[in-house]
């Protein structure tokens, strides 16, 4: 299933390398010598978790159904426009951020607020609905960064 999720992310315009760059941005100040390869490996490790796979599959399905305008109303309009008071996208993402503890919440909050890199692209995309995708990508990066923080050996 992991391969399916990686392919799905790619099809939606999110290569794992972009998520790894977010992880690097989050952890580089605290982890001297951290490489992009380390970050990519951490993203892959998070994607090994079934609950992460399920969250991504669910969020992408809802985004795609909103694009196709086949979700029932008013849900379809709410998801399609990423309504300000609709928080279910963040709730789904928070399940991913908690995998490696509360540090994930801080990482997620920072990424969700600043929207660096691929998150900015997803959030401003005109043809596709990314209501869930931008939050899930932020959550995936936050969890991968948290994983690195937890596994870092103190010198």
CB 86 within 8 A of CB 78: yes
pLDDT 10s digit of each residue in the chain, 155 long?
999 999 999 999 999 999 999 999 999 999 889 999 999 999 999 999 999 999 999 999 999 999 999 999 999 999 999 999 999 999 999 999 999 989 999 999 999 999 999 999 999 888 899 999 999 999 999 999 999 998 875 54
**Domain extent at residue 65:** 2-151
Q: Residue 152 is encoded by which pair of tokens?
A: 């870092």
pLDDT of 153 reads: 58
CA within 13 Å, CB half, 108: 24
Does an H or E element contain 64, and which? helix 50-67
Retrieve residue 102's tokens.
């509360």
Exposed e or buried b per residue across 70-81, where buried means at least 16 C-beta atoms within 10 angstroms of its C-beta:
ebeeeebebbbe
Rounded to the nearest 10°, the torsion over CA 68, 64, 129, 101 is: 160
Distances (CA, A) of 141 to 48, 79, 118, 132: 14, 22, 11, 14
The answer, yes or no, to whether the previous bond of 74 is cis (omega within 30 of 0) is yes
**CATH number of the domain that 36 lies in?**
1.10.3760.10
Number of domains the chain is built from:
1
pTM: 0.95
């Amino acid at each position: 299933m992991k391969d399916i999720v990686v392919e799905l992310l790619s099809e939606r315009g999110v290569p794992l390398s972009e998520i790894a760059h977010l992880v690097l941005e989050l952890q580089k100040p605290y982890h001297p010598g951290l490489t992009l390869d380390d970050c990519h490996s951490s993203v892959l490790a998070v994607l090994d978790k079934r609950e992460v796979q399920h969250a991504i599959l669910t969020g992408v399905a809802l985004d795609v159904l909103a694009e196709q305008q086949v979700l029932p109303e008013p849900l379809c309009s709410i998801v399609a426009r990423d309504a300000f008071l609709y928080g279910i996208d963040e709730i789904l993402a928070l399940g991913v951020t908690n995998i490696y503890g509360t540090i994930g919440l801080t990482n997620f909050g920072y990424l969700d607020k600043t929207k660096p890199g691929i998150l900015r692209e997803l959030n401003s995309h005109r043809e596709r609905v990314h209501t869930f995708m931008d939050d899930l990508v932020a959550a995936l990066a936050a969890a991968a960064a948290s994983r690195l923080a937890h596994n870092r050996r103190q010198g």
